[in-house]
A and B are shown apart, each in its own frame.
Chain A
Amino acid sequence: MNINHHLDEATLFSYVAGSLSQGMALVVASHISICDSCRDRVFETEAIGGALLNEMVSDNSSDGSASVKVDETALEQVLACLDQEEPTISLDSSLSDGESDACSPGNTGEVPAPLSDYIGGSLDAVQWKRLSPGFYYFDVFKEQRGICRLLKVAPGKSILPHGHHGNELTLLLRGSYADEVGRFAQGDVADLDDQIEHQPLVDGNEDCICLVATDYPLRFTTLLGKVIQPITRF
């Protein structure tokens, strides 16, 4: 897969830190599962996390973490649990932790493994809801402030112009679109913040399907956009 648009360093860092919203983390995990270069960047960033963990509980700590102690009986309890554990070393188990079902029957190859945990392996099997002619959506799950949603937009259609109060992550799963930032095709991720206003236009011959996550509601810049925002819950 030829991927031209990647994750912002700040987004990737927050994903590794565990501080992204659930929806944004899902977009990031999905992109990383198909993008070798972003995956390598994650490995590097996780090494930073390991180094920071190493700094915990040392005489150099200036925040009181030096005094953190683990319950003295805890080790015995854990060891008792280990005695009840069955050996887990097998090919199956080595693939079970985060390993994909992207190769499983029914997966068309368009749905990254982390997303398939939520929607299954086929974009064509999604229970789309109609928003307006040429626009369909499916809420992957409800978010407190933002959205985590699949969008399907017909060729030649464009999203109403909008900006953002927070971050917006979009992963292209099928088709393509173009906007003020560039052209996005399968595997690309658009990583935008409150500095960007755009109006994506589906420019190919097929439906454009993407996974979109935000951590704040959008900021529509036209009257129509503002009017329909409560209905569409963008």
Chain B
Amino acid sequence: MVNVVPIRKNSMTATQSKAWSAMLAEMAVTKDKSLYIQLYQHFAPKVKAYIIRLGVMEATAEELTQEAMLNMWRKSHLFQPNKSAASTWLFTLARNQSIDWMRKQKYPEYSLDNMQDRIEEASDADIGEQTVQSERIAQAVSQLPENQAQVIYMSFYEGRSHSEIADRLMIPLGSVKSRIRLAAEKLKLTLRGEQ
């Protein structure tokens, strides 16, 4: 068994969050397994908890988590620390892994036709900016009105479509969409530091 320094803390500060992104970026370059282990120990339980919330049985969630964490190693060269925080990138890996398994087909992903140009344009961005934003959002989510938080959670954590949410809450489709819209706009204002 590899000796691992326990890293995970219950309440993460901006500095810690920034450290995870920097660590992932460094691992992408150096392929240093000790960094991988620290990232794994921090993110794997979160990824597994997220996948279970999507309705996947625990044994399968365990396998999907391992696959997602393997992809963290395999695809680390695609991580762009000036574009997203480590947690954001891990979220997309976990989401794709679980949806692909649930649907037995690949979830359509957008392609970055001008990716190289955009990387160069953003190359001076501060790695920490994305991660500080991430924490602002977490706080903003907890402050949403209950009816908006409810649809956000049903969409993100339970993977439910607008129509399913409407059926479950017995409200019109338009109400589901307007609640999501309102919540998303608030969260994005927070993201931009405007609220």
Where the two chains meet, the residues of A that have a C-beta atom closer than 8 Å to any C-beta of B are 8-10, 12-14, 17-22, 25-26, 28-30, 32-34, 36, 39, 41-60, 65, 68-71, 74-79, 81-82, 85, 87-89, 93-95, 97-100, 102-103, 112-114, 117, 166-167, 193-195, 215-216
Contact = CB atoms under 8 A, between A and B. Distances in A.
Contacts of B127: none
Give me the 10 closest cross-chain CB pairs, A-B, nearest first. Answer: A50-B88, A32-B110, A51-B137, A50-B87, A29-B108, A113-B111, A10-B177, A68-B49, A56-B46, A49-B91
Interface string B115-131: 10000000000000010
Contacts of A58: 10-11
Contacts of B91: 46, 49-50, 52-53
Contacts of B107: 18, 22, 25
26 contacts: A13-B181, A13-B184, A14-B155, A14-B161, A17-B95, A17-B159, A19-B155, A21-B161, A22-B107, A49-B156, A50-B86, A50-B89, A52-B91, A53-B50, A53-B90, A54-B87, A56-B49, A57-B49, A75-B41, A78-B69, A87-B31, A93-B77, A98-B112, A100-B112, A112-B111, A113-B111
Interface in B56-74: 62, 65-66, 69-70, 73-74
A73 B34 CA distance: 17
Given A10-B162, A47-B84, A114 B94 contact: no
B95 A70 contact: no
B78 A82 contact: no
A14 B162 contact: yes
Nearest to A99: B111
B44 interface: yes
B: contact size bracket: 35 or more
Contacts of B163: 166-167, 215-216
Contacts of A113: 111, 113
A114 B111 contact: yes
B85 A94 contact: no
Nearest to B90: A53
B2 A46 contact: no
A146 B192 CA distance: 36
A167 B181 contact: no
Interface in B102-152: 103, 105, 107-115, 130, 133-135, 137-138, 141, 152
Contact of A77 (B4, B66, B73, B74): B66
Contacts of A49: 88, 91-92, 95, 156
